[in-house]
């Protein structure tokens, strides 16, 4: 009887062990599924991050490139062009005084040649106009060591002669009644390089100011 009872206990233990093993198997399978799901989620997240950075990279590069300042155009720099150098006289006080005078105009570097040509073409007329303004100056004008009043008058005269007429804009461009130029293009349109629709400089040559330098008055003997 004792041997039979011992055998029954062993059989019961085996049954419990087999049952326990069967219950343990699903637990192991469930852990594996959880690990696979975690790996899949991490892979999806990594793919999303890669896509975001891939799309954002070129945009950031383009934005950085767009923010870089454009190189300065040397043609926009200011320069001086000589207009007159020589003696001028004034005798309004009854005494003839002589002055050694230099006159320059300021313009953009890209307009230097065009302005120099205008000055050369009108050299005699410009000299006569400057001499007339100096000759008619008052004693107050001549007592200013910087000759600012005379400089303003000479500047106004030079701007009238050398600059395009007011409202003419592109004085070399003919326009029809519809505002088109001779090539049938909008005369007011410009490209990014400051050119008009015909490929010409949209800004006509002009001066921005005049500079007058003079020596002190010297009494002239008659």
- 158 shares a domain with 86: yes
The per-residue pLDDT for 188 is 47
Domain that holds residue 100: 74-166+204-219
Whether 165 has a pLDDT exceeding 80, the answer reads: yes
CB atoms within 10 A of CB 109: 13
Cβ distance 180 to 189 under 8 Å?
no
Do 111 and 210 fall within a single domain?
Answer: yes
Q: Mark whether 44 and 8 lie in a shared domain.
A: yes
Q: Which residues contact 107 (CB under 8 A, 6 or more apart)?
A: 78, 79, 81, 115, 205, 206, 207, 208
Pairwise CA distance, residues 117 & 80, whole Å? 14
The confidence band for 208, taking pLDDT boundaries of 50, 70 and 90, is very high
Give domain status of residue 174, yes or no.
no
Instruction: Give the mean pLDDT of 150-174.
Output: 80
The Cα–Cα gap between 35 and 38 comes to: 5
**82-85 LR contacts (CB < 8 Å, sep 24+):** 82/119, 83/119, 83/126, 83/130, 83/158, 83/210, 84/126, 84/127, 84/130
User: Over the stretch 67-96, which tens digit does the pLDDT of each residue have?
Assistant: 677 788 888 999 999 999 999 999 999 999
The confidence score (pLDDT) of residue 196 equals 52
Q: Which residues contact 206 (CB under 8 A, 6 or more apart)?
A: 107, 111, 115, 159, 162, 163, 164
Residues 215 and 106 in one domain: yes
User: Is pLDDT larger for residue 64 or for residue 74?
Assistant: 74
pTM score > 0.75 for this model?
A: no
Q: Tens digit of pLDDT for each residue in 24-40?
A: 444 555 667 777 777 77
Q: How many CA atoms lie within 13 A of 214 on its CB side?
A: 26
Q: Which of 16, 33, 68 is the last residue of a domain?
A: 68
Please identify, among 33, 49, 68, the residue that sits at the C-terminal boundary of a domain: 68
Confidence of residue 60 (pLDDT cuts 50, 70, 90): low
Ranges assigned E (strand) in 51-203 = 78-90, 97-108
Q: Given this model, what pLDDT does residue 87 score?
A: 97
Q: Is residue 51 domain-shared with residue 25, that is, in the same domain?
A: yes
> For residue range 44-57, what is the model confidence (pLDDT) as tens digits?
777 766 665 666 55
Kindly state whether residue 100 falls inside one of the protein's structural domains.
Answer: yes
Instruction: Find which of 17-21, 62-66, 154-158 is predicted with most confidence, using mean pLDDT.
Output: 154-158
Indicate if 78 and 63 belong to the same structural domain: no
State the burial class of residue 67 (Cβ atoms within 10 Å of its Cβ: 0-12, 13-18, 19+).
exposed
Q: 123 and 208: one domain? A: yes
Q: How far apart are CA 99 and CA 88, in angstroms?
A: 5
Statement to judge: residues 84 and 17 lie in one domain = no
- State whether 108 and 215 are in the same domain: yes
> At residue 173, does pLDDT exceed 50?
no
Dihedrals phi, psi of 56, to nearest 5 degrees = -75, -30
State pLDDT tens for residues 141-158: 999 999 999 999 999 999
């Amino acid at each position: 009887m004792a041997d039979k009872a011992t055998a029954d206990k062993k059989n019961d233990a085996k049954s419990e062990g087999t049952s326990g093993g069967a219950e343990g198997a699903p637990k192991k399978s469930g852990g594996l599924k959880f690990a696979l799901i975690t790996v899949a989620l991490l892979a999806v997240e990594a793919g999303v991050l890669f896509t975001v950075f891939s799309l954002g990279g070129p945009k950031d590069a383009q934005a950085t490139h767009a923010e870089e300042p454009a190189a300065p155009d040397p043609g926009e720099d200011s320069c001086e062009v000589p207009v007159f150098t020589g003696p001028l006289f004034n005798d309004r006080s009854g005494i003839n005084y002589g002055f050694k005078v230099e006159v320059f105009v300021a313009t953009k570097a890209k307009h230097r040649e065009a302005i120099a040509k205008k000055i050369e073409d009108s050299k005699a007329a410009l000299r006569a106009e400057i001499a007339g303004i100096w000759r008619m100056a008052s004693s107050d004008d001549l007592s200013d060591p910087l000759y600012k009043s005379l400089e303003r008058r000479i500047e106004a005269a030079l701007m009238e002669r050398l600059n395009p007429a007011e409202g003419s804009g592109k004085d070399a461009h003919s326009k029809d009644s519809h505002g088109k130029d001779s090539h049938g293009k909008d005369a007011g349109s410009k490209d990014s390089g400051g050119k008009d629709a015909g490929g010409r400089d949209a800004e006509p040559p002009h001066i921005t100011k005049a500079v007058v330098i003079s020596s002190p008055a010297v009494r002239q003997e008659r």
